[in-house]
Structure 1
């Protein structure tokens, strides 16, 4: 099991996750931005129309980059547990049906510094983003920006940072 990893000093870590639930007929995203010290800066979570799981993961990545752009954060690491979505963003010569969202993600990624990273991580390294998407299902909330950490997450966020590498 790989815990959350702290970003280098001066770099923001953005963890993103998407989840589709066919039984509920909806999908959800969750993303949060943190500092090396684990401080929650902001986030997004919410329910979206049911979509293919890869598209929902791309939507979560999109909101992660959107959040960085809104915060004028240029030194960022974005992590997702969707290897397929990360591959599609990082390999622009793929002929896929998600060109619209991929173009938007790549545009925002290019606005960050050249050292901006989008990478795949194991689920165990992305637990808080996964928890944020589950929270969206619990709250039945449309996509909402968070400017502070929900009180429901304080202890989990502290534990996630405490066990980080």
Structure 2
């Protein structure tokens, strides 16, 4: 038990460090142009994101499926009640994977702007981690009988999923599925489809 507790503390510390560490002072900031990148032909891209209200602690998630032309396939937004940022991110990934599987896609790419969530799903998780069950469910989905990958992207490349996640607070508890493009997402999808760039300051 003491060994498990020590591992849990170290894992928490690492997650916090990776999420909050500032760039080294010697790094020079500069502006890059980023845009959503369409998948290759025959691959379904899943973009997901989580939302968190620092005052109420209410969380939500959103995501969407698109083809190699950037065309809308399906999407979702979910009001999750009270929870953590990481919990919201993981629920977004899980529901995105579930929606893609149920829609019969077998070649998928998942993109999330949460480096912590992607790292958690790319490594072993100890059983005492508070999100062990949720992260394990995500891993089981990834390892199902399909070709599936998960990678981290910048928020500027994940705008559509961010909009869906932020809208979650407007719905009642549970998942809201969208078969048609919601009106509030039309312009964003059009911009992604034609490769509109968005500026981001990075350090190197």
- Structure 2 alignment gaps of length 5 or more: 1-32, 198-204
**2:95 paired residue number:** 63
Number of matched residues? 162
**2:10 paired residue number:** none
CA distances 1:26-72 after superposition (whole Å, capped 9, x unpaired)? 11101000001111111110211121111110111111111111101
How far is 1:107 from its partner?
1.2
Q: Which moved more, 1:93-102 or 1:1-10?
A: 93-102
Alpha-carbon distance between aligned partners in 1 of 2:50 and 2:92, rounded to the nearest angstrom: 6
How far is 1:141 from its partner?
3.7
Aligned pair partner of 1:17 in 39, 49, 69:
49
Alpha-carbon distance between aligned partners in 2 of 1:121 and 1:12, rounded to the nearest angstrom: 16
Aligned pair partner of 1:147 in 179, 187, 200:
179
Q: How does 1:8-157 map to 2 (within 5 A)?
A: 8-91=40-123, 93-95=124-126, 96-113=129-146, 115-137=147-169, 139-142=170-173, 143-157=175-189
Alpha-carbon distance between aligned partners in 2 of 1:156 and 1:164, rounded to the nearest angstrom: 9
Aligned pair partner of 2:190 in 154, 158, 161:
158
CA contact (8 A) 2:125 2:132 kept: no
- Structure 1 alignment gaps of length 5 or more: none
Question: SS of the counterpart of 2:151?
Answer: strand
Query: What is the Cα-based RMSD across aligned positions, in Å?
Result: 1.5
**What TM-score do the two structures reach when normalised by structure 1?**
0.91
Alpha-carbon distance between aligned partners in 1 of 2:66 and 2:116, rounded to the nearest angstrom: 24
Say if 1:141 and 1:36 are closer, same or farther in 2 by CA, change over 3 A. Answer: farther
How far is 1:111 from its partner?
1.4
CA contact (8 A) 1:30 1:44 kept: yes
